[in-house]
Amino acid sequence: MREYLLTLCVTAAVTYLLTGPVRKFAIVAGAMPEIRARDVHREPTPRLGGIAMFGGLCAGLLVAAHLTSLKPVFQASNEPRALLSGAGLIWLLGVLDDKWGVDALVKLGGQMIAAGVMVLQGLTILWLPVPGVGTVALTPMQGTLLTVALVVITINAVNFVDGLDGLASGMVCIAAAAFFLYAYRLWYGHNVESAAPAALFAIVLMGMCLGFLPHNMHPARIFMGDSGSMLIGLVMAAGAISITGQLDPDAISLFTGSERATTQSMVPVYIPLLLPLTVIAVPAADLVLAVVRRTWNGQSPFAADRGHLHHRLLQIGHSHSRAVLIMYFWSALIAFGTVAYSVHSGSGWLLLLVVAFSAVGLVLLLMPRFTPRVPSWAQWAVPPRYRSTPPQQAGPEETALAEEAAARMGLHGCTAVGERQRFASAPKTGG
């Protein structure tokens, strides 16, 4: 675990330190597009944040390749090199799109090429666990098509949800954390070495998002752009492919008694990670709804609009920060709930806990104007908007003005007190 934490810290530190220079470079290079009708920010903001994230990815893999426990991952598998090859291609395509703009069909073709490069180097789906049947082996053509489809779906799901400051990076970080816990448990809990590459991909992905997130929180100083959103989507897809399509169920059947029992017990996590519908359930749902909405309106599925889930949260009255936190909440509930269910699938209390948290999430979702207040002893740890401010006492000048106004209007007593309070609460103007 210590070497994973070291890899996480190095990746996050390199990404964080590179983001500042990359922001200056993006401004000089003119990678600051004009504000569009569907945007929610009010000032032109530089893109190309994916450059810093790609630097963090390279640094994390380089450090991991020299660590004692993680070095066998690079020696026994070609998956890290396959990931780096595909990530380099998708990152270059994203940089070109952030600077000059690339047609949607060209981007789709580039995503398929990047996925094909990873397949050629061995990062592909070999078999699938099917409930009631067991492990189903796939032909090379079937595995290639399924791998390319998974990569393209995941990339576009993350790209579609990148509409608010800190939204995509935070949600992917949450998904990567849940994914890492699952892969780490398979490796060290069940001694399945095939899960080691997926755990490495997940921890590097966490570092990329954590390092970039401080620069991307509202109000964002830089956007990751397509160079970042497509990159983290590809890394997430690579981890899902590695652990879903290449993990041999025979290695776990020793703990469950039979291959069919193993398949049955792992389906709650296997199938969702394959499609994927849990660790990125919110962006995946947003992707499906966007395609249906645009097709129904006679538009291209790749046409941009303001109908995404985060846009709807803003329309019903939620603030920018609250909308992002709500999306975080649902992503964490689905991702960690699924991982917890894979460990304790027969626990009734777990289902009750998920239902309780879902009820809390619905209450927060339907109360957009509710502003929580925290106790005075904890106000130092929360943003200023959540701190309760004591009422200001009227000064001598405000008291004199209130009494003069009350005398002119013939007011006395408690009415004059109300006038003093009104003057005290009025905003001060310089002069």
Indicate the residue type of 66. H
What mean pLDDT comes out for the span 86-107?
92
For 371-396, what is each residue's pLDDT tens digit? 556 667 776 766 565 566 554 454 55
Q: How far is CA 93 from the centre of its chain?
A: 21
Percent of the chain's residues with pLDDT above 90 = 29
What pLDDT does residue 358 have?
78
Taking the C-alpha atoms of residue 320 and residue 338, their distance in angstroms, rounded to an integer, is 28
pLDDT-derived band of residue 59, with 50, 70 and 90 as boundaries?
A: very high
> Residue 430: what pLDDT?
43
What are the pLDDT digits (tens) for 37-57? 555 555 778 889 999 999 999
Q: How confident is the model at residue 219 (pLDDT cuts 50, 70, 90)?
A: confident
- Statement: residue 225 has pLDDT above 50: yes
DSSP reduced 3-state for 128? strand
For residue 278 the two structure tokens come to: 């849990």
**CA atoms of 167 and 145, how far apart (whole Å):** 30
> Count H helices, E strands: the chain?
18, 2
Pairwise CA distance, residues 180 & 168, whole Å: 18
The whole-number average pLDDT for the span 267-296 is 62
What does the pLDDT average to over 143-170? 87
Question: Considering all CA atoms of the chain, what is the largest pairwise distance in Å, rounded to the nearest integer?
Answer: 93
Distance in angstroms (rounded) separating the CA atoms of residues 189 and 208? 26
Q: Hey, which bits of 44-188 come out as E strands?
A: 127-130, 134-137
Phi–psi pair at 129, nearest 5 degrees:
-85, 130
Exposed, middle or buried, 300 (CB in 10 Å: 0-12/13-18/19+)?
A: exposed
Query: pLDDT class for 30, splitting at 50, 70, 90?
Result: confident
Judged against a pLDDT cut of 70, whether residue 259 lies above it is answered with: no
Least confident of 181-185, 271-275, 359-363, 409-413: 271-275
The tokens describing 6, both together, are 């070291």
What pLDDT was estimated at residue 270? 53
Sign of torsion, CA 107 113 119 121?
negative
What percent of the residues of the chain are helix, what percent strand, and what percent coil, each to the nearest 5? 70, 0, 30
Does residue 227 have a pLDDT over 90?
A: yes
Residues 6+ apart with CB under 8 A from 431: none
pTM of the model: 0.76
Both tokens assigned to 153:
């779906």
207-230 mean pLDDT? 92
SS (H, E, C) 126-161: CEEEECCCEEEECCHHHHHHHHHHHHHHHHHHHHHH
Q: Which two tokens stand for residue 382?
A: 């929360």
- For residues 330-341, give the mean pLDDT: 80
pLDDT range class, residue 19, cuts 50, 70, 90: very high
